[in-house]
Amino acid sequence: MKRYHNIIRQGKQTLLCAISLVLVSACTDRYENGDLKQFSDELAETDGVKGGMLLPGMMNNIVIATGSANYQRDNNHNGDAFSGYLSSPTPFQGNIQNRTYAMSDTWNSPVWSRPSETVLNPWLQTKKEENDVKYPDLYAIGLICKVFVGHRLVDVFGPIPYTQYGSASEVSFDSEEAAYNAFFEDLAWAVDALTTAENESPDGDQFRFARFDQSLYKGDYAKWIRMANTLRLRLAMRISNVNPEKARTEAEAAVNHPFGVLTAEDGSFAVIAPTTHPLEQMSNAWSDVRMGATIVSYLKGYNDPRLETYALPAVDPAVEGEYIGIRNGIDISLKDTYVNFSKPNFQQTTPVKIMDGAESYFLRAEGALKGWNMGGTAQQFYESGVRASFDLNDVGGVDDYLNNATAVPSDYTDPKNPDNNGGILTHTTVKWDEGASADEKLERIMIQKWLAIYPEGREAWAEIRRTGYPKVYPNVVNYSGGLIPEGAFIRRLTYPTSITNASKAAVDEAVSQYLDGNDSPYTLLWWDVE
């Protein structure tokens, strides 16, 4: 993943950042905790320090990079599994939990509480400090973080408190539609603020921000603008089946903005974890994570060179040297049964990816397929997205890959239990076929997008629900108690007690008004109309 590590500070930026860091070097740990008590008012106001102190912690907690246990509950026990990316050899809670469709309150509570504590609450503090007026460029960064977390929460639970977060005496849940409208407004404000900062002060403002930027963009406002526009494009696509006019307007505004959306040259939006990539610790020290059967089947069948970047060969004697994942939602009684299947390939210094640098191309490909003004054709963006992904993962052979019109995903054979075997999920190949149906073209785009954005499971799970693609192996066992029909796919997480105990009346009203009165893992979200 060469682009992730291509971090270069040169000339004036290096000097300005060094001088700024001298002023606050003794206090860097307090940035993430938002502890302003240790600063004098004069120091806190120096060169935007007060406006930027909370930003590092917010960035590190969009996709939880600050602790493997937090990441495991927030991501791995839901989106990573449901997306077909990653599985576990561990029979947590007697194998009766989210992965087998029995909702675990212990697992679901942090999905709400951790982001609200580490992103939404710090954003609220910056708002109360009037940083939107004092430091609009820095406030814009926090607002982008807020939108990231807000849409991830909506896409998991449905209605959440967003527009009135922390400002009302009574908790009020927004409908998903109202929340999405607010996301678009917030992103437009943030992009405008950063565009002004970039155009009016192309040196000073972005270098002031650099010391706070935990991402690989290192204070580059132009990249942040393109990333925010790509997020706007992502959210526009999410609502495209339920509000196509609004979706088209937002998508075209994002793509046609003067700074545009992410390109391969920008690389992925990612952060370096403070200690280690959570999936590295979870797969090596804990042995709780292994590759999912679904993604390995696609990669193997397509002869995809990214397989060796994403995974390690199994060491189990039954399949030693092969790449083999674990099917999700199966009966597991002993951890030893599957623990030596393929591990995901993460190192301590592997960046925690929030948005893949190739995503914008696939979003534009789908937009072009819908007839939107994306600046090119679906085929052009599809092929550019695949090329960008290969480049970002530092693998070759992209021309042969794009021209392969015969390879399809492989079937799945579980050497431990034939009940878990699965057939070929699709006969859709890699090579673009302009004569194919619109649905086949969509499937082709979504498969390659899914392969590119790995391992961001929460986003992949949302897109599978929205489009039905890529097809993933269904659960073999289903302990939902009839809430999810046999063979069906989970649509959301139920509200945890951390929400219901604190705001029962508001939750009841939200369930009644926006979830058809049913707080069920099979209740469709507003945008989930397929």
Helix (H, G, I), strand (E, B) or coil at 403: coil
Whole-angstrom distance, CA of residue 360 vs CA of residue 449: 9
* Predicted confidence (pLDDT) per residue in 16-39, tens digit: 232 233 233 334 444 444 444 455
Mean pLDDT over residues 373-380, rounded? 98
According to the model, what pLDDT value does residue 25 have?
34
Q: Where are the beta strands (DSSP E) in 237-368?
A: 269-271, 290-291, 352-355
- Residue 46 confidence (pLDDT): 61
Spell out the residues 6+ positions from residue 162 whose beta carbon is closer than 8 angstroms to its own. 150, 154, 174, 178, 179, 182
Per-residue model confidence as pLDDT tens digits over 89-145: 999 999 999 999 999 999 999 999 999 999 999 999 999 999 999 999 999 999 999
Query: In the chain, how many H helices and how many E strands?
Result: 25, 4
Q: What is the per-residue burial (b if ≥16 Cβ within 10 Å, else e) of 57-67?
A: bbbbbbbbbbb
* Unique residue bearing structure tokens 């006019």: 245
pLDDT at 246: 98
Q: Residue 204's pLDDT is what?
A: 55
- C-alpha span between 209 and 286 (Å, rounded): 36
Please provide the DSSP assignment of 477-526 as one string. ---STTSS-TT-----PPPPHHHHTTSHHHHHHHHHHHSTT---TTPPPT
Give residue 189's pLDDT: 98
Q: What is the pLDDT of residue 209?
A: 87
Give me Rg for the CA atoms of the chain: 22
Is residue 431 within 8 Å of 382, Cβ to Cβ?
no
At residue 11, does pLDDT exceed 90? Answer: no
Q: Which of 80-84, 113-117, 443-447 has the lowest mean pLDDT?
A: 113-117
Q: Tell me what the mean pLDDT of segment 30-52 comes to.
A: 59
Amino acid at 516: D
User: Token digits for 441?
Assistant: 């073209």
- Rounded Cα–Cα distance for residues 490 and 483 (Å): 10
Higher per-residue pLDDT: 75 or 9: 75
Say if CB 46 and CB 23 are below 8 A apart. yes
Residue 269, beta-bridge partner list: 355
- Spatial CA neighbour of 290 closest among 335, 353, 354, 349: 335
- To the nearest 10°, report the CA torsion of 85, 524, 101, 426: -40
pLDDT at 51: 83
Give pLDDT tens digits for 249-266: 999 999 999 999 999 999
Instruction: For residues 495 and 523, give the distance between their C-alpha atoms in angstroms, rounded to a whole number.
Output: 12
Instruction: Assign 180 a pLDDT band (cuts: 50, 70, 90).
Output: very high
Q: In this predicted model, what pLDDT tens digit does every residue of 137-172 receive, in sequence order?
A: 999 999 999 999 999 999 999 999 999 998 877 789
CATH number of 2-278+348-514: 1.25.40.390
Q: Give the range among 39-48, 218-227, 418-427 with minimum mean pLDDT.
A: 39-48
Calculate mean pLDDT across residues 37-49.
60
Tell me what percent of the residues of the chain surpass a pLDDT of 90: 85
User: What's the confidence (pLDDT) of residue 43?
Assistant: 56
Q: How far apart are CA 471 and CA 409, in angstroms?
A: 11
| pLDDT tier at 14, thresholds 50, 70, 90 | very low
Mean pLDDT, rounded, for 338-342:
98
CA within 13 Å, CB half, 253? 19
Lookup result for tokens 């307007």 = 249
Q: Which residues contact 274 (CB under 8 A, 6 or more apart)?
A: 60, 65, 66
**Residue whose C-alpha is closest to residue 3's, from 395, 449, 394, 450:** 394
Percent of the chain beyond pLDDT 70? 90
The pTM for the full model equals: 0.92
189-237 residue pLDDT tens: 999 999 999 998 766 566 778 889 999 999 999 999 999 999 999 999 9
pLDDT at 1: 45
- Strands 269-271 vs 352-355: parallel, antiparallel or unpaired: antiparallel
